[in-house]
Amino acid sequence: MASTTRTIALESQDLTIDYIVTKHRYTSLKEFVLATLSGRRVKAETFTALKNVNLQLHRGETLGLIGRNGSGKSTLLKALADIIKPRVGSVTRRGTITSLIELGAGFDGELTAEENIYLSCMLMGFDRKMITRNVDRIFEFAELNAFRKFPVKTFSSGMYARLGFACATMIDADIILIDEVLAVGDEAFQLKCLQHMQKLKNSGRSIIFVSHDLGTVQTFCDRVCVLDAGRIMHDGGAAEGVELLRSLLQREIQSPTIKNLSSQLMLKPHEYYQEGENRDDFAIEYRIDKSLRNLPRKFQIFGFGQSKPLLLIREAEVEFLQKKGLATLKDEDGDLHGLIRFPRFPFQPGEFMLFLTIEDAGEELGHIARGFRFFSHQSEVNEERGILDIASYYRKAVSQTLV
Amino acid sequence: MTSHPTTEKQSARHWFELVVMLVRRDLKVRYRGSFVGYLWTMLNPLILMGVLTLVFTKVGNQSSAFYPLYVLSGILCWNTFSQSLLTGSQSIIGNAGLLKKVHIPHWIFPSVSVLSALTNMLFAFPPFIGVALILGFKFHLSLLTLPLTLVLFFFFLVGLVLVVGTVNVFFRDVGHMLESGMLILFYSAPIAYPIDMVPQKWLPLLQMHPLFYFLKAFRSSLIDAPISVQDWLYLLLLTIASLACGILAHYKLRDRLFYYL
C-alpha cells in the first residue's frame, strides 16, 4: 500500500508495552527500603501486553481492531490516545485526537445529569462554551430532558448509559479512537449510535474502532487488524481479519491441551528422600509435559498442606529459587523436569499432600495431588508451634517469595 | 471543523477550566443540600480555637485580648495545609480509574485538592471576621497582603502535594506515614503558642517547620504588623523550591505513573 506521511493520520512504531505484575513489585516504601538495605531487591516481573506493534491509520479510514480477550486491544488504544506512555517505541499523531474508552467517564452519582455532562465532556477535552452550545442536543439524544436536574445516582443503568453515550456524541476530532462502548443500551439505541458513527465516518474522520461485535466490524470498517498476545496477526481486509479471529476463537474452544492431566504432570518427593527416613531437608521432583508448556499464559503452582495447599510456591518463585541454587530446571525432549530443594522442611513432621496446579490467567486448568509422610530427627511434634515451622535458614532464602 | 477537542498541545485555559470544574464538584458533593455541611466548615475551627484558647489562657497564662484571633488564624492556615496534603496525597490514586481512561495530565488532581482546601479556608473567613468584631479588633492595612500570601501558599502547597501525591502512587504507605507526620507537624507548629514563648535556642529549629513563615505571613495579614522584606523573600524561596520539586517529580515520573496506578 503506497502511503506517504501526508496520508497517515496516526502511526505507531515498534510499540512495546510491558505491564508490571503488581504481585511482584514493592508497593510500600517500607518494603522497598528494607529490601534495598538487605540487598534482596528482586526485579519486578513484567507482562508484555504489546510487542513491536507497527500500525498505520490512514486519513479518512476506519480501522477495526479485534482480538481475543487480553490480546492487547485496549492497551494499544490507550497508547495511541496518549493515556499510556510507551517505554519502547513511539506514536505519531497528525491532527486533533480524541478517545472514548468508557462511556460516562468521570460521572459522579451525587451530581445532576447536567453537571455530569459538563464534567464528562470537559474530561474528554471540550471547553465550557462548546458544551453549553450542545447541552440541549445531548439531552435530546439521550431522551432525558425531563431529568436534567436529577442526580445520576437516581438513574437506571439504561438511563445512565444513554446519558454516557449522548455525551460521547460530542466526540469529534480528526482522529477518533473508540473502545467497545456500543455494547450498552437496547438495540434501537445501538442503531442510533452506529448511525452517529457512520456520520463521522462519512465526514472523513479517521477512526479506530475496537469491538467484539464482528458483524458490525466487518460492515463498518475499511480495514481490520487482528491482535493476538500483543502482536498484530493480520492487517488488511475486514472479511479476512474477521475470518481469522473466528478460527482463533474456534480453536480456543476445542483446546486439546488438557487431556489427561495425570499423564501430563508428575510430582513426587525426590527419590533420595526415602519415605520414613529421619531427616530435616526435603526435595520435590516434578515433570510438566510439553503439551502443557506451550499454553499461552500458563502458571504452575506448588502447594503443601494437609487437605488443601497451605504453602504455595509460584512459577516466578521457582525461578527465584533457581537463582539461589535451590531449584534446578531441565529441558528433556520438550518436557520440563524440575527439582526444588528445601534445606529444611517447613512443616512439623506428619502427613502431607503435595499439589501441583496449572493455571491460565488466574483460572485453574487442573491439578494433581500426592500424599506423603514426613519424619524428622526431632520427630516429636512441637505443640507450641503449630504445623508451619519455618526455620531461619529457610526463611532467609524463601520468605520474600512466599505469598 | 467546529470543535477543538483534545489536541497534542492542550491549552492551559482548558485545564484551568477543568480544575475549576472539579473543585466545584468537590464542594458541591461536600455541601450538597446541607447547610449543616457548610456550618461545620465554619464551626470546626471555632471549636478548636475555643479549646486551645481556654487551655492557653487558663493553664498557659496567656493574656492578650486578641489571643483567640492568633489561634484562629493559625488553625485556618493549618487546616488548609493538612487538608491539602491528606486529600492530595491520595488524589492521583483516587482518580486512577479516570486516569486510565481519559487523556488528562496527572497534576490536575493534586491541584484540585489544594484549591478545594483553599476554598474551604475562604469559607472559614466569615467566622474569623465575626470573632474579630466581637473582640473589637480593627483590621490593619496589612490585610491587603492577604491575596499575595494566598497565592504563594497555593503554589507552595501544589508543589508539596504534587510530590506526595506522585510518590504515593509508587509507595502506597507514604500517605499513611504522612498521617503520623501531620501529628508531629501540628504540635511543633506555632499554632496555639506565640513564637516569643519559644526559647531563643529553639528558634532555628522552629523556623525549619514548613509552615513557620506562612503562619507568620497569614498573621501579618490578618492581625499583625507587616512582616519584613526578608520574610517575604523566604516565603518566595520556599514556594519556588516546593513548586520546583513538584514539577520535577511530575516530569520525572509522569510517564511511569500509568504502570503503577
A122 with B10: Cβ contact below 8 A: no
Of B46, B55, B96, residue with least CA distance to B73: B46
B258 with A83: Cβ contact below 8 A: yes
- B chain contacts of residue A29, beta-carbon cutoff 8 Å: 171, 173-174, 177
- A chain contacts of residue B174, beta-carbon cutoff 8 Å: 29
ipTM of predicted complex: 0.82
pLDDT at B62: 67
Residue A30 forms contact with B (CB below 8 Å): yes
pLDDT at A294: 62
Residue B175 has pLDDT above 80, yes or no: yes
- B chain contacts of residue A210, beta-carbon cutoff 8 Å: none
pLDDT at B233: 94
Cell of A381: 511434634
Report DSSP state, residue B227: P
Residue B239 has pLDDT above 90, yes or no: yes
| B93 strand-pairing partners | none
Residue B25 forms contact with A (CB below 8 Å): yes
Q: Provide CB contacts within 8 A for A80, sequence distance 6+.
A: A10, A12, A55, A91, A93, A97, A99, A177, A208
Task: Tell me how crowded residue B135 is: count the other CB atoms within 10 A of its CB.
Answer: 12
Q: Specify whether the CB–CB gap between A336 and A350 falls below 8 A.
A: no
Residue A319 forms contact with B (CB below 8 Å): no
Q: Specify whether the CB–CB gap between A57 and A201 falls below 8 A.
A: no
Give the span between the Cα atoms of A84 and A133, in whole angstroms: 32
B6 with A97: Cβ contact below 8 A: yes
Q: Provide CB contacts within 8 A for A8, sequence distance 6+.
A: A56, A57, A58, A59, A92, A94
Of A83, A85, A96, the CB nearest to B5: A96
Of B7, B28, B254, the CB nearest to A96: B7
Q: How many helices (H) and strands (E) does chain A have?
A: 12, 17
Q: Specify whether the CB–CB gap between B8 and A98 falls below 8 A.
A: no
- B chain contacts of residue A105, beta-carbon cutoff 8 Å: 98, 101-102
DSSP per position, B124-174:
THHHHHHHHHHHT----GGGGGHHHHHHHHHHHHHHHHHHHHHHHHH-TTH
Task: Tell me how crowded residue A199 is: count the other CB atoms within 10 A of its CB.
Answer: 11
Of B31, B212, B221, B33, residue with least CA distance to B128: B221
Of B14, B28, B260, the CB nearest to A127: B14
Closest residue on chain A to B13 (Cα): A127
Tell me the angle at which helices B12-31 and A113-123 cross, rounded to the nearest 10 degrees: 150
Confidence label for B67 from pLDDT (cuts 50, 70 and 90): confident
Give which of A29, A107, A172, A180 to mutate to test B binding, by max B Cβ within 10 Å.
A29
Cell of A163: 446519558
Give which of B95, B100, B102 to mutate to test A binding, by max A Cβ within 10 Å.
B102
A111 with B258: Cβ contact below 8 A: no
pLDDT at A55: 92
Give the span between the Cα atoms of A269 and A275, in whole angstroms: 9
Closest residue on chain B to A103 (Cα): B101
A118 with B21: Cβ contact below 8 A: yes
Average of per-residue pLDDT across B139-163: 93
pLDDT at A364: 66
pLDDT in tens, chain A (403 residues): 444 556 889 999 999 998 887 655 677 888 788 888 887 777 777 788 888 999 999 999 999 999 887 888 989 999 999 899 888 899 999 888 888 888 878 888 888 899 999 999 888 888 888 899 999 999 998 888 999 999 898 988 888 888 888 888 888 888 999 887 766 666 777 777 788 888 888 998 999 989 888 888 888 899 999 998 888 989 988 899 988 888 887 765 544 455 566 677 777 777 665 555 556 677 888 888 777 766 654 556 666 666 666 677 777 777 778 887 888 888 887 788 888 887 777 676 666 677 777 776 566 666 777 766 666 555 455 555 555 554 433 444 444 444 3
Give which of B93, B99, B101 to mutate to test A binding, by max A Cβ within 10 Å.
B101
- Nearest 5 degrees, angle CA B155-CA B161-CA B166? 130
Domain that holds residue B244: 5-260
Residue A264 forms contact with B (CB below 8 Å): no
Residue A93 forms contact with B (CB below 8 Å): yes
- B chain contacts of residue A78, beta-carbon cutoff 8 Å: 100-101
Give the span between the Cα atoms of A354 and A340, in whole angstroms: 13
Number of domains in chain B: 1
- B chain contacts of residue A106, beta-carbon cutoff 8 Å: 98, 102
Higher pLDDT, residue B233 or A259 = B233
DSSP per position, A81-130:
TTSSPPSEEEEEE-S-EEEESSTTTT--TTSBHHHHHHHHHHHTT--HHH
pTM: predicted TM-score of the whole model, two decimal places: 0.72
pLDDT at B249: 93
Q: Specify whether the CB–CB gap between A278 and A99 falls below 8 A.
A: no
Residues 115 through 134 of chain A touching chain B, CB cutoff 8 Å: 115, 118-119, 122-128, 130
Q: Is beta strand A350-360 parallel, antiparallel or unpaired with respect to A8-20?
A: unpaired
Burial of A197 by CB count in 10 Å (0-12 exposed, 13-18 middle, 19+ buried)?
buried
Higher pLDDT, residue A194 or B164 = B164
Backbone torsion region of residue A143, taken as left when φ is above 0, otherwise alpha when ψ lies between -120 and 50, otherwise beta: left
Give the span between the Cα atoms of A37 and A26, in whole angstroms: 14
Phi, psi of B199, rounded to the nearest 5 degrees: -55, 145
Of A108, A123, A128, the CB nearest to B102: A123
pLDDT at A159: 85
Residue B58 forms contact with A (CB below 8 Å): no
Phi, psi of A356, rounded to the nearest 5 degrees: -135, 115
pLDDT at A2: 46
Sign, CA torsion A373/A377/A380/A384: negative
- A chain contacts of residue B3, beta-carbon cutoff 8 Å: 126, 130, 170, 172-173
